[in-house]
Amino acid sequence: MNIRHFTSVVILFSGLFSQCFADVSAVEQVRPSAGSSVIENRDQFNSMAAGDRAVSTLQLSEVKFIITGIRTDSPGLYFINSNDFMYHWKFFNDALGWNMSLIDFNTRTYTDFNRLILAGSVVAYDRYSDSDCRNGVYTVEFWPSDPVHAGDAALAVSMISSGMAFAAGRILYHPTGESQVRIYNDEVSQFAEKGVPVIQTGDLYSGVDYMALNTGTCCGILRDGSSRGAFSAGDIPVFESVPNDIGHVAGIITTIPQTPLSHINLKAVQNGTPNLYVQGFTDTEQYRSLLGRYVRLTATIEGYSVEEIPFAEAVEWLDSVRPETVTVLPADLEEKRILPLDEIRLANSSACGAKAASLGELTWCIPSFSVPDGYAVPFYYYHSFMQYNDLYAVIDSLISTDEFNSSVENREQILHDIRSLIRDADVPPWIMDSLSVMASNFEPGTSLRCRSSTNNEDLPGFNGAGLYSSFTHHSDEGHISETIKQVWAGMWTFRAFEEREFYRIDQLSGAMGVVVHPSYREELANGVAVTRNIFNPFINGVYVNVQPGDDMVTNPQAESVPEEFIVTEQNLTGRAVREIQYLGASNRTSAGERVLSEQQIDQLASYLTMIHNHYRMVYGVDRDDPWFAMEIEFKITSEGELVVKQARPWVF
């Protein structure tokens, strides 16, 4: 399926239809609960705003509108009560009294051919600010693939400005999809001649001074994140940009915008951790006066608050958000073979870990050449190694001491010592032999990527994103067991230990498998995608973040900003069409340059649909459940091939 504009659709008897439709010109009366021709103030706007946008990262308010008779002398504007009417077509028929099929309505609304209706939304960007001293703007937006030209955009902005007089000077046209951006670029002089105020997506998002990536309330000590020290579940660090190795914390504030698909935000969503971007927060007197004190941080749709609180309240809050009982993680130690990835399924996760099992599952829903070809080293090998060196007993004694529990610094040092013990320990000869046989199955000289696959990551409700590390083994580095031990040692990093401790997971029940496959070099791009439109899961689509080269979106370099876009799919006129809606450009590319080609995006979108449908059935999720999605990590290899390297349930 190609990504393209809607093509003109020839409708028989169009002249007769147009004549009939021209009668809908003057504003007709609709019941007050259904809609209105005027919105008097923001309170009325809020009462009509759709609730389904509340899932958006930016938490935007949206009121749908429809303009009829646009080719007549007296077009009619209707603001729709968007809570009662999810679709413009339903309002057109049920509130305005028409009886038109969906195909006919869409043909007259979303195509160039004989358009007679405009249907869109007014979206409130309350946190936007710019050099013109505008604090908050309202954008006129249309379906991303709707080919809106200068004349129609001018009509919509003019009528909506009259109908929302309270927002005078703050109503702008926002071209949301590639089709609309292309039309604007082709007709820029016409837009200017008609006086249409236009704002592009990049400018709109860059003008946002506050963003709650995850809302909520937490309590803890407000910390200076620039120290890059260790932070605990009782800390609220303030960073410029979040380090990728941060442990479990109470809340996060950054002064540089974040991407919703970073591992940090995935953990925040999973843990219910407030995570917010506040422009210039470290320059405020509030920050300086509260630094090092116990505070309550609240992040809402509209804004945030930070208030000093007593120590006892902070302790009470922390205890209230932890599980009440200890969880012992299951691990199947009966599987003693190193298994090819294409021979395992998700059901093997109890023996090999969810990451390895999910890679095997991927080969059943997308072409196998688009999934890494390798092996899964089961939990049995980690368990046998730990027993062989009596490391379970040693670790248990170390983490039970008063010294370990007396301070964050002591805990971090002892965990460092535990990792050193694992890396320096002997590997049983039979494990050495088995790993040698596995390594010999790869082409001589192949660098091998060794990746963690535990029993406490990539699970529904707990993805463990970013907790464990991967390492590359090169052919001149000796036996592969040395690299495997590095992966095993990763079970005992500070951030992984703290995450398990917060959830009261029995530390010694953790098990580490290893995925081994060829390492990719000189990658053209790396990205993360969600198989659903996270800004509005009720509209079919996928969400993608991608960066050129080997700059990982999940673990971004400092101040790295990925390319961000949504691919929507609709069937408005009987033909399925995909449309790209760019939300932001990568700061690693030149102006106007895209990281992925349209062909690559089309292939990625197809894979995401396959993955979504397959895993939905595997997990037994209802077909129409808007709250199920998979998150994947992908790359474009040096040969230009798309490879999906991980899939896990997405946590909304």
Enter the tokens of residue 541: 């689509």
Instruction: Tell me the Cα Rg of the chain.
Output: 27
CATH of domain 339-518: 3.30.1490.20
- Comparing CA positions, the residue from 647, 376, 357 lying closest to residue 514 is 376
Check residue 539 and give its pLDDT.
Answer: 67
Tell me the pLDDT tens digit for each residue of 60-85: 788 999 999 999 999 999 999 988 89
What is 210-321's CATH number, 3.40.50.2300, 3.40.50.2000, 3.50.30.10, 3.10.180.10? 3.50.30.10
424-441 average pLDDT score = 97
Enter the tokens of residue 166: 């309270």
Q: 69 or 323: whose pLDDT is higher?
A: 69
CA distance readout (Å), 7 to 188, 388, 533, 572 = 22, 68, 24, 12
β-pair type (294-299, 375-377): unpaired
Domain extents in the chain: 14-206, 210-321, 339-518, 525-649
Tell me the pLDDT tens digit for each residue of 259-269: 665 657 767 87
DSSP symbols for 176-191: -SHHHHHHHHHTHHHH
**Contact of 121 with 39, CB cutoff 8 Å:** no
DSSP state of 651: -
**CB-CB neighbours of 399 under 10 Å:** 18
Is 50 exceeded by the pLDDT of residue 148? Answer: yes
β-pair type (512-518, 448-454): antiparallel
β-pair type (61-68, 35-36): unpaired
607-614 average pLDDT score = 96
pLDDT averaged over every residue in the chain: 85
Check residue 572 and give its pLDDT.
Answer: 54
Amino acid at 170: R
pLDDT-based confidence at 343, cuts 50/70/90? Answer: very high
Prediction pTM value: 0.68
401-408 average pLDDT score = 85
CB-neighbour burial class of residue 380 (10 A; exposed 0-12, middle 13-18, buried 19+): buried
| Rounded distance between C-alpha atoms, residue 300 and residue 217, angstroms | 9
